Chain A
Amino acid sequence: MKNATDTTHSGPTVAPPGDLAIWFFILAELLAFGVFFAAYAFGRAHNVALFNEMQQTLDRQAGAFNTVLLITGSWCVARAVEAVERSRSATGARWLAAGILCGGGFLVVKGFEYAAKFGAGINLSTNTFYMFYLSLTFFHFMHVILGMVILVALWWKTRQGVYGPGNMNGIESGAAYWHMVDLVWIVLFPLVYVMR
């Protein structure tokens, strides 16, 4: 980035934080999720009764708790970026660790949800609703895992003091990806767990 050294508290910057490449990647991911969400919504339009009935079998509490975990994880990572920008690497690393814990919590909760469903004999071919529910949430699940791998790498490098004012590109890029994972869930939760 041309203005990588210009990430201090001056006026508005022209380009988004982080590497431009990650933003094209994020847009591609959003496009894929957007198609998935539309497919779910129009799939529901043809099977309203089934979708409304099956939605009642989901664990809405677990879904809401996972929303809290992802948003809190996103907040932790934003606080980490802010700390690193103020040359506080140790604080930044702690915030990143907290973000990783939130992501781990999400995977555990989702794991219990999957275990309950699989235990009840539910799979991709149970019905159209569960085909969508399992594939859509698992697609997102994989993104949480990738996001956590990125966060662990950021945590490691932040602990070593690699990032700081003037070298924010890596941490800002990884953080942007993690926020994308949160952003997608913010649409997924009401759409799949609540809307009827």
Chain B
Amino acid sequence: MMNTRQLNFVWVVLMLATLATYAIGEVGEQLGIVGPLAMAALLVISFVKGRLVALDFMGLRGVKFFWRGLLIGWLLLVSALIALAYWIALQ
């Protein structure tokens, strides 16, 4: 079940993750985070964020695996398709 401290912690993590996404766009080149590495980092960050929203904000953490699986499966499928399209573009 949700509690205040957990919700606040998730919000902080989501804010930091958003900052990381924005930073990759702004200073990724200076840090050498470009191309496939940047793509992978962005997908991992959005997966972590999406998973937290599904589990803690939507309250699916204590729910039957089927429901968590559907949402996390959606995130994985969308990420995989984006990565595949990115890889095709590199060819």
Contacts and interface: CB of A to CB of B under 8 A. Distances in A.
A contact residues, range: 35 or more
Contacts, number: 146
B23 to A, nearest CB: 10
Given A13-B63, A23-B67, A78-B7, A186 B50 contact: yes
B64 A182 contact: no
A12 B62 contact: yes
Nearest to A30: B74
B2 A82 contact: yes
Interface of B: 1-4, 7-8, 10-11, 14-15, 18, 21-22, 24-26, 38-39, 42-43, 45-46, 49-50, 53-54, 56-60, 62-64, 67, 70-71, 74-75, 77-79, 81-82, 84-86, 88-89
B53 A16 contact: no
Given A37-B81, A82-B4, A16 B18 contact: no
A58 B2 CA distance: 37
